[in-house]
Structure 1
């Protein structure tokens, strides 16, 4: 209660001192003010820091240092924690927690040797009498010598004495010590200087009654002008605080000059002062953005240099070394010369002031444009002036770029940098493409200065390369460059010469900035590129993809296809079991892959909607290959379906030829009909030729050439971005040239239908062979009619319930022979009719599909400027050329 009463009394005293009115006169206002003050002064109870969490954090740091082979740092930390434990202080957990919050990567930034600087110097050894006597030995005679107490000391020399007095005889008196005389400190007044000061104050002079004007000298006019340009208040110039304008006070005139001439010169000087005054006011406005603060500081320094130049002009007229002719016209010309760059800067600030909050780096773009314009107009002074401001402001903008390119870190809540983290929780397999994004504005324009946009992609990729190296755990190995960072200033870009260069400033800056970027870009990108190629085996994985999906090794791919087709033709229910097919694929591809790589193969199967007699059923069979996450940033997930499509397309081609080759020439000759045999030979040869041409086109023309170009470009790529782009273009080219793209789907469907004709051809001959085998089996199983009556009666007795008949011995043989002949002729006629109809249908469909395919290839080849499609069409029409 005593505490609350004390706080209440202090609150009342605080309110009365601020409001300064009697509470009795306005009780309601006093009560409201007291409530506000009481809420603000109410005591708060904050939780203390958990000392056990702090101890656990330091224990974790100790363990981390020792794991990272920084035992020296861990020992130093442990010894100092033990010293702190000996000092009992209730706020010690808070102190230690504050140190933990202030720590910044202690493993990388800490150096134990730096602790020696904090060690206090060892105290000097105590002084002994032996050392004193050794430095200043004494004798017995010197001890007993008298001391002259009247000797003057240095203190007496510092103070002025009162007046000359006779020296006292005994110098040991304390009462007669020297004292100050106040009169000696007074400087005599110089009446002439006072009168000169009063005469110089022309603003106190009363104007003439007739004209109402006050004559002033030209020297006074020059002084007032210089004061006005410095930003000070003057009598000759009147400033308006509302609109920032400055006008000439018409009360004062120069008696020896024409009024119009004087007003013209002074008005021009007032305009200069107005623009500079607005520039000074702009620099006094606070800003929270570092880029704008740097720009304001640079402008402020230029104004200080300008004020220093004005001070030199004032000194010339105030204390001239030599006689100077006072001329308002001369000072006007000189001020216009030294104010020219500042006036252009003031105009630049006025143009971009309202845009700085929307675009915080627009001043960099404006300075860059003014630099280029000054160089083209040969304004050397303006060029050097703006160049200094531009490079000072650029250094602030380069800080987040340098941090991003060197450590892969982004400044939090930095809206001025064109890189931001869009998804911090993205998978490492897509870290390159999904985690960081370029910041873009209206119309998808990059949020960066225009002159830096050509190098923005390299800046972006360099930072991502560093982040990638950190995820791989190899950041810091081989990234320490011994070469210093190239400077980016006026001397480096434009040279130290006094004359303007002939090369345009934008080209000079781009060249210097490219050198600065390359010093950071090449190192990280080279280390990452070598790690992906050598340690992660990028080129080896691309070669395995070429073998696994694209049939680069034809014999291995043929073995796998034949094994799958044999399982399909057994008509077993579990032929597409994914576990069995996976073991089958690993066993076959292990002949060209290493064992560890072959274990990464997984075969998946899905039920297909198409019938078994169509090659479309193979689309349910797919192969997956387990990729490391680092390679998945190059071979993206979106590329795997294209590989699967090519794999399926090749497998369908192999399937058609496999079935056609299983129809032997002997089986075709068994038809006994010359027309059907000739038609079968013709269709078999055409279908096999089509399958071979298609396979040769895919493997040799499309895949081989594209893969060689891709591997050559991949070996020369500088970063992951370029590698990923090369692979995406490679996959897109494969999809386009292999007729798998969306706009070529009709041609692809026609090709699949033509391959299905090979499957249909095989089914037709298989059904014909089955029919013949069935006929042979039926003929072999029909019993002969017995000639004995007993057997005949037994047969008739079995059929008595159906049709009672009497079978005679004479007619039994002839009847049975007729029945067998009719059945044989019926089988032959049905088989021949089915085979003939099937072959004619296949021949008709082939005659329709092939011209459609060739015509489509020629048309898209002309439109898409792909000569390989026209070459494929020429190869597919070999038989038609022969007919023509």
Structure 2
């Protein structure tokens, strides 16, 4: 019943604290709330702890200890579990489960040597006769002495019949000596000494209203009052204004032997020092919820305690002087001014940054860093040492989340003071490096970290991500086991123990020491991750495969793929671009130069073709995919593959033109008609110029742009330190490759002109084929619609809109038949000359602007046939 009554009273208190109304006025609501609370507080029968699961967990711990070569820890665990087997208790599984939940990385944090501290002290050995004899030896003579059995025998005593009150015995001499008269402890009052004591209590003296000078105090009294004021106590010489939080001088007291103006000036200086210290003491009483600011408050409070200890020593000199000293308020002012100067400077700094601490919790670190640097520049040795030690004391708290992030890849819960946070917890491992964690920035896109740590913020960020990456790969335990010891980062390490100000600037000293501190954590994780990506995951091998698939690194294999694709296209079947057939065909071709496991990762995708079967625009509907592992995808990002695909399409288009031009043979003229001779000459001329253009373009793409760009990329990746730098190198490689192969947006008109020249090659092949039945691939002649008509429908609306404003020369003829092949060839010749001139001029213009010097080389190579013709004519 007592338990139910206690629960009922606690329930009433709970309801009153939550709802906050009077039960007398809200009787019905109070009754309803009590019913709800009573139902919630009723006893419930929960399931017991699963003892088999507890035993399995303990067995797993034992196995883990032994696998990690900690047999000593496993043996200690087994010994204690065997002792527990002898204890019979139904709560034993619950207790073991509680202990398992309380464990915190027992493999790293447990030391078997610490168990010796729990061993109970050994009991004292039993006392033996030998020890008794050694302490109190006896002789044989004493044993055989006679005993007087009659003396004080208990048998002679008689038991009284009734109990009587004993009479008080008279005091004996011993009692008389122990009895003291209280009056003998009193000391006679020395009236002279009492009067002297009253005279020293100047605050209790009644002021004379007729005396305008006020109450005189001695210089010693003024010194003691000042000491109390500086320590933050209430005094009579100084009054505290509680509302304004200021200290004022009590003008009712004066020092009689000094001029009033002199004493006022001196006491005002003391008042200034005391006011600064008072504000600093009041600030330390307002504790902040942030650990970073709490550390700063604790460091300031320790220095205030050191100053109070100095004041106590000064007070002791005047209270109990050893050798006689002269009491001088001016001399006392000099000593106090020197010892309080760093605290007064600190008080001004706290007043300046106090409003910012709510928004920027590490503003005190930046202020201390700047003030330490300034003290070094002004050669203030004591101030430099004082502020630098305070800076490093406060920095240790900020280093904790950095250390946890760089060593374990973990972030504090809702830690707004750290500049790294988890942006997307559900992000895929394929984008772990780039999407899951981001740097915290403010509204002005400034990194939210102390300014002196911002140069190293990127490396700190990458180190933590490397640790998370290693955890996903299951390699973090190996990195922890081989980690090097952490160097110290304090005043002695950075500034040395010399009493002089260091010659090197403090920011440089700190940056060098912090880099050394950070390198102990950065090198291990980044090197292990880099080695795993290169050696085990095959990053370089994957880059070579992509270069082989998309960029024609192996020209023979790429030409085999192109020719096989062209043969299916020219066969005239509607399903020439069937993705299943193309996939098997591509895998078979590339399996000759790469392992079958890599070739099986190739997938060809195709979309519906809406152009003429001979147009090179059809190749935009064919794309290659290669399955990349998730670690590699963090280096080779998704948006890089479309650039590879664009280069692959351009190479196919170049190979297509050469394939068509080599497949036709323009017939020689019969000599019967001048027009036929002119047509044959024009055909041979166009074939030569188009072949030269296709060969020059292919050579430039594969042997110049792709080759040199890839070599630069491999060199930089070999020197990269971490994934971030590798990914950055690959991003720059893709952008540089896109620019050098004339696929960037800046040179879009030049690329369109090149594509139209390649289409002229297709048109020339159709013209030759339709004009000569011997080389025709189709038995019947047909009408071919020109693909160069202005305003032709594009393969997509986006392409039409993008190319609408591009000012590129276009062909003006619309149709071609067997009867007007000469006119068509003349139109092709004029269009080729106009487009080629546009391409060469554009390449030279952008080349001179400093974009790519190799573009000028390409322009010179394309212009070579015209220059040769001029030289032959001249």
Matches within 5 A, 1:814-833: 833=819
Aligned to 2:853: 867
CA distance in 1, matches of 2:659, 2:699: 15
- For the 8 Å contact 1:50–1:93, the answer to whether it is kept is no
| Residue-by-residue CA offset, 1:246-287 (whole Å, 9 max, x unaligned) | 011011111111111111211221121111111101111122
- For the 8 Å contact 1:857–1:873, the answer to whether it is kept is yes
Deviation at 1:425, TM superposition (A): 1.8
Aligned to 2:329: 328
CA distance in 2, matches of 1:484, 1:775: 78
Matches within 5 A, 1:705-784: 705-770=708-773
CA distance in 2, matches of 1:45, 1:565: 82
Deviation at 1:58, TM superposition (A): 5.2
- For the 8 Å contact 1:532–1:630, the answer to whether it is kept is yes
- For the 8 Å contact 1:11–1:34, the answer to whether it is kept is no
CA distance in 2, matches of 1:4, 1:549: 81
| Residue-by-residue CA offset, 1:155-190 (whole Å, 9 max, x unaligned) | xxxxxxxxxxxxxxxxxx999798564759947466
- For the 8 Å contact 2:609–2:621, the answer to whether it is kept is yes
> What TM-score, normalized to structure 1?
0.83
SS at match of 2:610: coil
Aligned to 1:851: 837
**Residues 1:718 and 1:277: Cα distance change in structure 2 (over 3 Å):** same
SS at match of 2:410: coil
Please identify the structure whose Cα radius of gyration is greater.
Answer: 1
Deviation at 1:649, TM superposition (A): 0.8
- Higher mean displacement: 310-319 or 47-56: 47-56
Deviation at 1:30, TM superposition (A): 11
CA distance in 2, matches of 1:296, 1:595: 66
Aligned to 1:880: 866
Matches within 5 A, 1:378-457: 378-457=379-458
CA distance in 2, matches of 1:11, 1:831: 102
Aligned to 1:99: 99
**Residues 1:113 and 1:231: Cα distance change in structure 2 (over 3 Å):** closer
Aligned to 2:493: 492
Q: Report how many aligned residue pairs link the two structures.
A: 799
Matches within 5 A, 1:549-698: 549-664=550-665, 673-698=676-701
CA distance in 2, matches of 1:37, 1:215: 69
**Residues 1:773 and 1:506: Cα distance change in structure 2 (over 3 Å):** closer
| Residue-by-residue CA offset, 1:564-602 (whole Å, 9 max, x unaligned) | 111211122332222222222222222221222222222
* Structure 2 gaps, min length 5: 17-21, 148-171, 782-815
CA distance in 1, matches of 2:641, 2:777: 48
Deviation at 1:493, TM superposition (A): 1.1
CA distance in 2, matches of 1:146, 1:574: 136
Deviation at 1:691, TM superposition (A): 0.7
**Residues 1:174 and 1:249: Cα distance change in structure 2 (over 3 Å):** closer
**Residues 1:466 and 1:386: Cα distance change in structure 2 (over 3 Å):** same
CA distance in 2, matches of 1:252, 1:389: 39
- For the 8 Å contact 2:54–2:97, the answer to whether it is kept is no
**Residues 1:46 and 1:626: Cα distance change in structure 2 (over 3 Å):** farther
CA distance in 1, matches of 2:671, 2:77: 95
Deviation at 1:833, TM superposition (A): 2.1
Aligned to 2:56: 59
Deviation at 1:146, TM superposition (A): 12
SS at match of 1:233: coil
- 2:254 is the counterpart of 1:253: yes
Deviation at 1:193, TM superposition (A): 5.3
CA distance in 2, matches of 1:775, 1:49: 86
CA distance in 2, matches of 1:878, 1:297: 80
Matches within 5 A, 1:302-313: 302-313=303-314
CA distance in 1, matches of 2:9, 2:327: 68
CA distance in 2, matches of 1:553, 1:37: 82
SS at match of 2:411: coil
**Residues 1:611 and 1:193: Cα distance change in structure 2 (over 3 Å):** farther
- For the 8 Å contact 1:671–1:677, the answer to whether it is kept is no
Deviation at 1:717, TM superposition (A): 0.5
CA distance in 2, matches of 1:472, 1:44: 48
Deviation at 1:415, TM superposition (A): 0.9
- For the 8 Å contact 2:606–2:623, the answer to whether it is kept is yes
CA distance in 2, matches of 1:81, 1:863: 80
Matches within 5 A, 1:152-191: 179=178, 181=180, 183=182, 186=185, 188=187, 191=190
SS at match of 1:442: coil
- Higher mean displacement: 192-201 or 441-450: 192-201
SS at match of 2:625: strand
**Residues 1:376 and 1:185: Cα distance change in structure 2 (over 3 Å):** farther
* Structure 1 gaps, min length 5: 17-25, 148-172, 779-829
**Residues 1:855 and 1:186: Cα distance change in structure 2 (over 3 Å):** farther
Deviation at 1:239, TM superposition (A): 0.3
- For the 8 Å contact 1:485–1:519, the answer to whether it is kept is yes
- For the 8 Å contact 1:668–1:680, the answer to whether it is kept is no
Aligned to 2:792: none
- For the 8 Å contact 2:483–2:521, the answer to whether it is kept is no
- Higher mean displacement: 91-100 or 714-723: 91-100
**Residues 1:290 and 1:552: Cα distance change in structure 2 (over 3 Å):** same
SS at match of 2:421: strand
SS at match of 2:254: strand
SS at match of 1:858: helix
**Residues 1:453 and 1:190: Cα distance change in structure 2 (over 3 Å):** farther
- For the 8 Å contact 2:607–2:622, the answer to whether it is kept is yes
SS at match of 1:611: coil
User: Which residue among 11, 17, 41 is the counterpart of 1:44?
Assistant: 41
Deviation at 1:288, TM superposition (A): 1.5
CA distance in 2, matches of 1:144, 1:14: 82
Aligned to 1:819: none
- Higher mean displacement: 483-492 or 385-394: 483-492
- For the 8 Å contact 1:429–1:632, the answer to whether it is kept is yes
Matches within 5 A, 1:218-229: 218-229=219-230
**Residues 1:777 and 1:555: Cα distance change in structure 2 (over 3 Å):** closer
Aligned to 2:208: 208
CA distance in 2, matches of 1:466, 1:580: 44
- For the 8 Å contact 2:54–2:93, the answer to whether it is kept is no
Deviation at 1:857, TM superposition (A): 1.7
Deviation at 1:414, TM superposition (A): 1.0
**Residues 1:317 and 1:746: Cα distance change in structure 2 (over 3 Å):** same
Matches within 5 A, 1:116-195: 117-120=117-120, 123=123, 126-129=126-129, 138-141=138-141, 179=178, 181=180, 183=182, 186=185, 188=187, 191=190, 194-195=194-195
Deviation at 1:472, TM superposition (A): 1.0
**Residues 1:461 and 1:379: Cα distance change in structure 2 (over 3 Å):** same
- For the 8 Å contact 2:769–2:775, the answer to whether it is kept is no
- Higher mean displacement: 188-197 or 339-348: 188-197
Matches within 5 A, 1:48-87: 50-53=47-50, 55-56=52-53, 59-60=56-57, 62-63=59-60, 66=63, 69=67, 72=71, 80=80, 84=84, 87=87
> What TM-score, normalized to structure 2?
0.84
SS at match of 1:305: helix
